[in-house]
């Protein structure tokens, strides 16, 4: 059970406080309800570029990192298609430095040309390092637009293309900040050994006078129901052929999300999973194969991906893969198999919650989903899932007409 308190400031900032008497550290986690899905199609990669600019100094503090390091702390952030999340971890007695820094950059940024210029370059190098200069690194840049026709999940967080980042202007940056970075669009979680009253006083002190702003309305193009099988082959200079089967699945808030999560585990999470045993161990068609879900807030994807063994064909794989899927659709899984999947999930969750930072981040994410207490309800939801549920969703989700297949064909093998 993760205990927490919730309060709201007049300007709309939602604050969660999680008390942990054992830690000498404090975590200050700030989730902004903005991600790559909120970008316009001709200016992609912006939420993420903006995350970099948040470290380029704020209205009253020229340098974000140095004062935090001076307080013995460190900070980082990540951007996804759904959210942007910032965190500071520092010795508990220096909590005010963290609040001072985070509140000032919520108030306003320094917006210097130099910072924009440099971070554009840094992000372009990140684009190259993670997506272009890695074998299979660009797969998601291809798979997203294949699986999504309308919804902004069709582009990756890093952006559709480098030129979008190159063309970002100061005007764009300021508009983005004013629209999305205000108290009513943020969830703050503080975790550490404090009293609630002290946290209330400190948060009011540092965040109370930040103008409220308006929580931006989110009207996204809804992804139409997929009705046909899609397939695309790309050729790349990689050592082996690779495959990515992407099936549409329900959104994060849908109870079925959890069922499909288990379904993906049954198919390909562990070395005892169905695809691994059949396609890797028994038939030896693939050198690796796994199944997982993207975990996105809107309609997500269940992915089956892997690499072919030398001399094996996409056709052999396809036949074997659908045999496993058909078996999954025909018969219900045994209680024993389901229990095996459930205890892995329970163990994993217990480890996640061992860390203070994870607890703070997850509380914010669940609050965004509607209620931070969701963190404590997950286990029961998983436990209530039955073989029948899984059988039903196997038939719902694992259909040709709900599938997009990306094949990466290896050329010029560097033997």
Partner 1 sequence: MLNRSQQPELQAIHKIDFVKPQQFDITSTVKLYFMKEVANDTARFDLYFDAGTVKGEKGIPSFVNSLLLSGTQDKSSTLIHEQIDALGGFMESGISFESAVTSMFCLRENVLPLMHILTDAIQNVAFFEREIDELVQDKKQGYLMNLEKVSFLAQRGFQQRLFHTSENYSKVANLDYYENISSSKLKSFYRENYLEGLFKVVVVGNLEQDAIDEIIDTIGKWSKPTSREFESNIKNLPGNTHIEKEGAVQTAIRLGKILFNKTHEDYNDFVVLNTVLGDYFGSRLMSNIREDKGYTYGIGSMLSEYNKFGYFMIATEVATEFKDATLKEIKFEIEKLQTELISEEEMDLVKNYLLGQLLKSADGPYSMMDLYTSAQIHGFDFEFYNKCIEDLHKITPERIKELAVKYLNWEDMTIVTAG
Binding window for partner 1 (CB under 8 A); candidates: 41-49, 122-130, 140-148, 247-255: 122-130
**Count, residues near partner 1 per rule CB under 8 A:** 79
Of 142-171, binders to partner 1 (CB under 8 A) are none
CA–CA distances in Å: residue 258 to residues 35, 265, 390: 23, 11, 10
| Contact pick of 66, 196, 220, 369 for partner 1 (by CB under 8 A) | 66
Shortest CB 409 distance to partner 1, Å: 15
Q: How far is the CB of 203 from partner 1 (least distance, A)?
A: 13
H or E stretch covering 415: none
The nearer residue to partner 1, 217 or 414, going by C-beta atoms, is 414
* The binder of partner 1 chosen from 3, 40, 72, 383 (CB under 8 A): 72
Q: What is the footprint of partner 1 within residues 192-211 (CB under 8 A)?
A: 205-206, 209
Binding segment (CB under 8 A) for partner 1, from list 125-133, 176-184, 363-371, 377-385? 125-133
Taking CB under 8 A as the criterion, the residue among 117, 149, 166, 235 binding partner 1 is: 117
218 alpha-carbon distance from chain centroid = 18
Helix, strand counts (H, E) of the chain: 15, 11
Distance between CA atoms of residues 308 and 45, nearest Å: 32
Near partner 1 by CB under 8 A, which window of 53-61, 138-146, 360-368, 399-407? 53-61
Closer of 281 and 319 to partner 1 (Cβ): 281
SS3 11: coil
DSSP 3-state of 60: coil
Polymer length in residues for the chain: 415
Instruction: Rank residues 9 and 147 by Cβ distance to partner 1 and give the closer one.
Output: 9
91 binds partner 1 (CB under 8 A): yes
By CB under 8 A, residue 121 contacts partner 1: yes
For residue 28, how many other CB atoms are within 10 A of its CB? 25
Residues numbered 266 to 305 that lie near partner 1 (CB under 8 A) are 270-272, 277, 281, 284, 287-288
Give the whole-angstrom CA distance, residue 88 versus residue 111: 21
Which one of 38-46, 73-81, 218-226, 367-375 is the stretch in contact with partner 1 (CB under 8 A)? Answer: 73-81
Nearest to 402 by CA among 168, 194, 234, 224: 224
Of 154, 202, 168, the closest CA to residue 28 belongs to 202
Q: Is 334 in the site for partner 1 (CB under 8 A)?
A: no
Distances (CA, A) of 91 to 72, 98, 102, 202, 394: 6, 10, 16, 16, 48
């Amino acid at each position: 059970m993760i205990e927490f308190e919730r309060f709201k400031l007049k300007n709309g900032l939602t604050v969660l406080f999680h008390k942990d008497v054992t830690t000498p550290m404090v975590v200050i986690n700030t989730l902004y309800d903005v991600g790559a899905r909120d970008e316009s199609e001709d200016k992609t990669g912006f939420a993420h570029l903006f995350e970099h600019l948040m470290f380029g100094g704020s209205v009253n503090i020229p340098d974000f990192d140095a004062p935090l390091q001076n307080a013995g702390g460190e900070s980082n952030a990540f951007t996804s298609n759904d959210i942007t999340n910032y965190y500071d971890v520092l010795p508990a007695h220096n909590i005010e430095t963290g609040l001072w820094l985070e509140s000032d950059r919520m108030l306003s940024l320094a917006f210097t040309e130099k910072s924009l210029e440099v971070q554009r370059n840094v992000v372009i190098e990140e684009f190259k390092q993670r997506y272009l200069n890695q074998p299979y690194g660009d797969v998601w840049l291809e798979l997203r637009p294949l699986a999504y026709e309308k919804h902004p999940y069709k582009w990756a967080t890093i952006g559709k293309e480098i030129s979008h980042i190159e063309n970002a202007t100061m005007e764009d940056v300021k508009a983005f900040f004013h629209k999305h970075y205000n108290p009513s669009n943020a969830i703050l979680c503080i975790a550490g050994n404090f009293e609630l009253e002290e946290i209330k006083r400190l948060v009011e002190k540092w965040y109370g006078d930040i103008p409220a702003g308006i929580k931006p309305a989110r009207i996204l193009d809804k992804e139409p129901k997929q009705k046909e099988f899609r397939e695309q082959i790309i050729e790349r200079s990689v050592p082996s052929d690779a495959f990515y089967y992407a099936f549409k699945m329900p959104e994060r808030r849908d109870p079925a999300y959890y069922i499909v999560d288990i379904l993906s585990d049954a198919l390909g999470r562990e070395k005892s999973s169905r695809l691994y045993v059949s396609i890797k161990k028994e038939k030896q068609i693939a050198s690796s194969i796994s199944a997982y879900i993207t975990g996105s807030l809107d309609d997500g994807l269940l992915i089956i991906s892997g690499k072919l063994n030398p001399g094996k064909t996409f056709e052999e794989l396809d036949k074997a893969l659908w045999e496993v899927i058909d078996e999954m659709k025909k018969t219900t899984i045994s209680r024993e198999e389901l229990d095996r999947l459930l205890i892995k999930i329970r163990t994993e969750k217990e480890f996640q919650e061992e860390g203070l930072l994870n607890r703070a981040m997850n509380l914010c994410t669940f609050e965004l989903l509607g209620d931070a207490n969701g963190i404590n309800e997950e286990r029961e939801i998983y436990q209530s899932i039955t073989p029948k549920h899984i059988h039903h969703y196997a038939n719902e989700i694992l259909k040709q007409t709900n599938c997009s297949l990306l094949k990466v064909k290896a050329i010029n093998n560097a033997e």
